[in-house]
Amino acid sequence: MIAIFLKSLIIGYSGAVMPGPMFTYTVDKSLHHGAKSGLLVSAGHVFLELILVILIYLGAGKYLTTDTAKTIIGLLGGIILVYLGFGMMKEVYLNQISLDPKSSKDEKQGSMLLAGIVLSASNPYFIIWWSVVGLALIMNAYASFGIMGVLAFYIGHIISDISWFSFVSVLVSRTRSLINLKVYKVIIVALAACLIFFGVSFFAASLRYIL
């Protein structure tokens, strides 16, 4: 069972460290709200993963990989990411950001938890990974140790997510004091552009299924 845990941990890190909407959003929120952001965003992410593990275990994985599911997830996810990206640019344009965490807009912890869920659910590649790779790993863990094997797999996976995004958040929050306001705004705009790019990519990929 230790082997399943370690395998899940390593595979989890290989996915977590790849740049994507979650990483981009975590960096943005860490600049605004400090080191707690990574933990909160990843908590929403791992909650959705728990739901997916349960659904896949119950046999729903095959429905998540259908063209209809890919299209709906991609279209809605693309819209959400573009909306978040333009929202970040709007804050820069209206000069609503600050390097002082006390003067930045308060954001309830629940909103970052929810964002972790929404950003994960809006990424069609996240759903596909869990429906294909995740399914194989879950079934292998179950065949070896039953429900305890599945639990070991899930714990290993979420530790990789939480530890990585928490590390990113702490690193960003500790170094933001070295950044001046102009550079800070450039970083926010760049992160926003990344979110918009991801959103357009998801949307375009979904249109290919429709056409």
What's the pLDDT tens digit per position in 168-181?
Answer: 999 998 887 777 77
Name residues whose C-beta falls within 8 Å of residue 76's C-beta, 6 or more positions apart in sequence: 122
Residue whose pair of structure tokens reads 């959003």 in the numeric block: 25
Over residues 91-123, the pLDDT tens digits come to: 888 887 766 655 445 556 668 899 999 999 888
- For the four alpha carbons of 149, 9, 21 and 28, in that order, the dihedral sign comes to positive
Q: What is the DSSP string of 30-61?
A: HHHH-THHHHHHHHHHHHHHHHHHHHHHTT-H
pTM confidence score: 0.84
CB 168 within 8 A of CB 24: no
Residue 169 has phi, psi (to 5 degrees) of: -65, -45
- Mark the ranges of the chain whose per-residue pLDDT is less than 70: 98-110, 211
